Amino acid sequence: MKPLLLVIVPLIGAAVAAVWPSNRTRPWLLPLVGFTHLLLCCWLLASHPDVSPEAWLGFDPLARAMLPAVSLLFLLCAAYGVSYLRVRSERPNRVFVAMLLAVLGLLSAGHQARHLGVLWIATEAVTLAAVPLLHFNRTPRAFEATWKYLLVGGTGIALSLLGSFCLGYASLHTGGRGDLTLAALSAQGASLSRPWVLTAWVLLLVGYGTKMGLAPMHTWKPDAYGEAPGIIGAILAGGVTTVAFTAILRVRSVVAAAGEGPITDRTLLIVGLFSMLVAALFLLGTRDFKRMLAYSSVEHMGILCIGAGLGTAGMWGALFHVWNNSLTKGALFLSAGNLQRAAGARTVDEVSGMARVTPCSAAIFIAGLFAVTALPPFGPFFSELRVLRAAFETRHGGTAAMLLVCLLFAFLGLTRLAFAIVDGRPRLATKAPGIRFAEASGLIIPPLILLALSCWLGLSTPGGLEDAWTAAVAQLVPAK
Amino acid sequence: MNEAVNLLVGLAMGLNLLALGSSRLPTVINVMSAQGIALGIMPLLMEDYFDWRVTFVAAATVAGKGFVIPYLLRRAMRTAQIDREVEPIIGFVPSLLLGAGGTIAAVALAKMLPLLPEHTGSLLVPGALASVLTGFVLLIGRVKAISQVCGYLILENGIYLFGLLLLHATAMFVEAGILLDLTVGVFVIGIIVDRIQRAFDSLDTRKLTALRE
């Protein structure tokens, strides 16, 4: 029942938001529901609930390792959202608040799904629920981004359904009775039909990889992240991509149980490295600081895949990196949203000198940039170090070298652009220079807390979380 | 019985080619509608005895793919005053050749995948793959938003065909999920189409090029 509450509470919140009469007080539902969700999550994290193998939805070790990160990110984004929607009070926010809460509920369902069908429906529903959120600004460019998101994302999600069917047929082929829970599929193990399992793996990797934004299926990402409000970028980059990664990990464990583990590892490494390479090259060229964050997200999805392809130690690093990615991306997107609103533009050709216009947001943006490019003492440094060490331990020297080169290129690209925006004489696209943009504390404190959390994760990773990651790795890669 | 299903799958594959070759939007929508009805009848032919869940899937598919979605698309066309030409990026003859080649490749590919004894000789797998490929050609090779939606629906039809292989074994759950998402998806797409119309005064996705590197 408790795992179901994580899904139901936000959905009830969404229903309430849909009928709530006042545009001014409605946004407060966001932190209220977010806080309840986080409390539930922490309670479940501490209480180690038992999950029966045939359950379709359960707070199993993998969900324990992932979902609290999303919940934490959501709460801080929700707190930011209250101030943000006050700034944007000219726009009705009924659909925005309701859909944001629905996304939280569906993300919880996706993380906890232990059944192929439930997993797919939750991911598809998240895709659809995010459409009005992307479209919040109602500009022609937002239309365009939403259209591309829906077309590319919809095709990806259709392919993942085809992949789920293939996996189901593989199970039927060897006497399965149509039980599509992942535990039952794993239990069938090596008897699953090999050609069908491989077909399913390819389709599911492409399908959920599209949702996650792995290259070359990442094309929707820069447009969507660039045009959406910062808060939505944060939720997409830290929450929605995470649920797709969870899906890939769950499918991977079934395919590995069928005896194709080496192939999954190899494909994950290749896709991960390719994503990093594409992201690094585009980072060197882009001139728009919100699209830059999207490419940085592609890069970090690449790191997650590489970690997942490097055995137990790498998988542990990847789970750690999921947390770091959510927290740092949250801080970056929220502060970038502030910068964009103050400057009225997003490209290096139009904007500079933000350190004088919005000193707090600019400082958070730069600190977040150092965090995301893996400078100590922030969390990403430590998780990427884990992944690198796993690469050396498993004799993937070439992978490690490429990872380092891509990280270096990404660092160059990110810092080049960020300092061009922040340094120099103030130059804005909207207001006359000299007018101070009001930095409300509600728009500054949430990204600051996210950064502090990332720093804390790096300096002293809580033992409870480390245990949760170890348990999740044990679930994903059973000891032989 | 298997023959009857195969006949319908063959019909659906023929309709794929028709969708690729036709130059007018209403024809493409009609083709899709016919394909939806053919797909909806299939589960009934596959069952030996009456099963209310299978009947429900069939009825919902015929209603959804055969009538509701084509109606929504026609309405979108009327309200947005889209003219009826298809405007291909990939011309009709190349599209048809791609579709025919894809169908042959689908049959060859399906031979490599092992089937359950009760499915041997069934055209469901090649039909599914051919429809998915047709959907892709339409998605990539057509300019107008409505034709892209048609392409997406044909792609989904292919996935539905594949799902029929699992009809006996799995709960209706997965099937119901498809129908729901399909309808909602088109609904959402329809709204966006409407908005695109207001924003650009056309349904030409070629104009959606402000965002690029």
pLDDT for A269 beyond 70: yes
Using an 8 Å CB-CB cutoff, list chain B residues near A184. none
- Tokens 């015929």, located at residue: B62
Average of per-residue pLDDT across A144-155: 86
CB neighbours of A75 closer than 8 A, spacing ≥ 6?
A: A31, A34, A35, A37, A38
Range of the domain at A211: 2-476
Number of neighbours of residue A331 by Cβ within 10 angstroms: 30
- Cβ <8 Å between A117 and B174: yes
Report the amino acid identity of residue A359: P
Q: Give the pLDDT of residue B50.
A: 75
Q: Give the pLDDT of residue A50.
A: 80
pLDDT tier for residue B69 given thresholds of 50, 70 and 90: confident
pLDDT tier for residue B180 given thresholds of 50, 70 and 90: low
DSSP string covering A111-152: HHB-BHHHHHHHHHHHHHHHHHHHTTT--HHHHHHHHHHHHH
Determine, yes or no, domain membership for B212: no
Nearest CA among A86, A96, A79, A208 for reference residue A155: A208
Determine, yes or no, domain membership for B213: no
Q: Give the pLDDT of residue B120.
A: 79
Cα B24–chain centre separation: 17
Q: Give the pLDDT of residue B153.
A: 86
Token digits for A445? 């404190």
pLDDT for A203 beyond 60: yes
Using an 8 Å CB-CB cutoff, list chain B residues near A180. 170, 174
Q: Give the ipTM of the model, two decimals please.
A: 0.89
Average of per-residue pLDDT across B108-121: 83
CA-based nearest residue in chain B for residue A223:
B211
Nearest CA among A458, A365, A459 for reference residue A419: A365
Average of per-residue pLDDT across B86-108: 88
> What is the tens place of the pLDDT at every residue in A44-83?
988 887 888 788 888 999 999 999 999 999 999 999 999 9
How far is it, in rounded angstroms, from Cα A34 to Cα B209? 37
Q: Give the pLDDT of residue A236.
A: 94
Q: Give the pLDDT of residue A315.
A: 94
Q: How many domains does chain B have?
A: 1
Using an 8 Å CB-CB cutoff, list chain A residues near B148. 151
CA-based nearest residue in chain B for residue A142:
B211
Q: Give the pLDDT of residue B178.
A: 64
Among A125, A143, A162, select the one facing B196 at the smallest CB separation.
Answer: A143
* Nearest chain B Cα distance for residue A162, angstroms: 6
- Cβ <8 Å between B208 and A193: no
pLDDT for B184 beyond 70: no
Range of the domain at B178: 2-207
How many percent of chain A have pLDDT more than 70?
98
CB neighbours of A181 closer than 8 A, spacing ≥ 6?
A: A53, A54, A55, A56, A114, A115, A116
Q: Give the pLDDT of residue A480.
A: 60
How far is it, in rounded angstroms, from Cα A244 to Cα A286? 26
Q: Give the pLDDT of residue A264.
A: 94
Q: Give the pLDDT of residue B191.
A: 61
pLDDT tier for residue A1 given thresholds of 50, 70 and 90: confident
pLDDT tier for residue B52 given thresholds of 50, 70 and 90: confident
SS3 A57: strand
Q: Give the pLDDT of residue A215.
A: 85
pLDDT tier for residue B5 given thresholds of 50, 70 and 90: confident
Q: How many domains does chain A have?
A: 1
CB neighbours of A378 closer than 8 A, spacing ≥ 6?
A: A324, A328, A370, A371, A451, A454, A455, A458
Among A154, A162, A173, select the one facing B132 at the smallest CB separation.
Answer: A162
> What is the tens place of the pLDDT at every residue in A388-415?
999 999 999 999 999 999 999 999 999 9
How far is it, in rounded angstroms, from Cα B120 to Cα B118? 6
A57 DSSP β-pair partners: A113
Using an 8 Å CB-CB cutoff, list chain B residues near A285. 213
> What is the tens place of the pLDDT at every residue in A159-177?
998 899 889 888 888 777 7
CA dihedral A163, A164, A169, A175 (to 10 degrees): 140
**Range scoring the smallest mean pLDDT among A328-342, A373-387, A436-450:** A436-450
Token digits for A37? 């969700």
Q: What is the DSSP letter of A345?
A: -
Cα B85–chain centre separation: 20
pLDDT for B162 beyond 80: yes
* Nearest chain A Cα distance for residue B169, angstroms: 5
> What is the pLDDT of chain A when averaged over all its residues?
90
DSSP string covering chain B: -HHHHHHHHHHHHHHHHHHHH--BHHHHHHHHHHHHHHHHHHHHHH-SS--HHHHHHHHHHIIIIIIIHHHHHHHHHHHHT--SB--BSS-HHHHHHHHHHHHHHHHHHHHHS---GGGTT--HHHHHHHHHHHHHHHHHHB-BHHHHHHHHHHHHHHHHHHHGGGTTTS-HHHHHHHHHHHHHHHHHHHHHHHHHHHHHSS-BGGG--SS--
pLDDT for A447 beyond 60: yes
Q: In terms of pLDDT, which residue wins out, B204 or A271?
A: A271
How far is it, in rounded angstroms, from Cα A77 to Cα A228? 14
pLDDT tier for residue A347 given thresholds of 50, 70 and 90: confident
> What is the tens place of the pLDDT at every residue in A219-245?
999 999 999 999 999 999 999 999 999
Among B148, B152, B192, select the one facing A143 at the smallest CB separation.
Answer: B192
- Tokens 């399909």, located at residue: B182
Quick one: A324 exposed, middle or buried, by C-beta within 10 A (0-12, 13-18, 19+)? buried
> What is the tens place of the pLDDT at every residue in B185-198?
665 566 666 666 56
Token digits for A349? 């050709």
Radius of gyration of chain A (CA): 21
Using an 8 Å CB-CB cutoff, list chain A residues near B112. 195
* Nearest chain A Cα distance for residue B27, angstroms: 22
pLDDT tier for residue A382 given thresholds of 50, 70 and 90: very high
Q: Give the pLDDT of residue A81.
A: 93
How far is it, in rounded angstroms, from Cα B173 to Cα B211? 39
- Cβ <8 Å between A199 and B173: no
How far is it, in rounded angstroms, from Cα A21 to Cα A359? 37
Q: What are the Cα distances from residue B121, in Å, to A239, A435, B212?
A: 45, 75, 47
How far is it, in rounded angstroms, from Cα A477 to Cα B138? 41
Average of per-residue pLDDT across A356-373: 92
pLDDT tier for residue B172 given thresholds of 50, 70 and 90: low
pLDDT for B203 beyond 70: no
Average of per-residue pLDDT across B38-61: 82
Using an 8 Å CB-CB cutoff, list chain A residues near B146. none
The full length of chain A comes to 480
Average of per-residue pLDDT across B85-105: 88
Among B155, B195, B211, select the one facing A155 at the smallest CB separation.
Answer: B155
Q: Give the pLDDT of residue A305.
A: 96
Among B168, B189, B199, select the one facing A150 at the smallest CB separation.
Answer: B189
* Nearest chain A Cα distance for residue B118, angstroms: 11
- Cβ <8 Å between B177 and A117: yes
pLDDT for B17 beyond 70: yes
Q: Give the pLDDT of residue A240.
A: 93
How many percent of chain A have pLDDT more than 90?
62
How far is it, in rounded angstroms, from Cα B212 to Cα B125? 38
How far is it, in rounded angstroms, from Cα B186 to Cα B199? 19
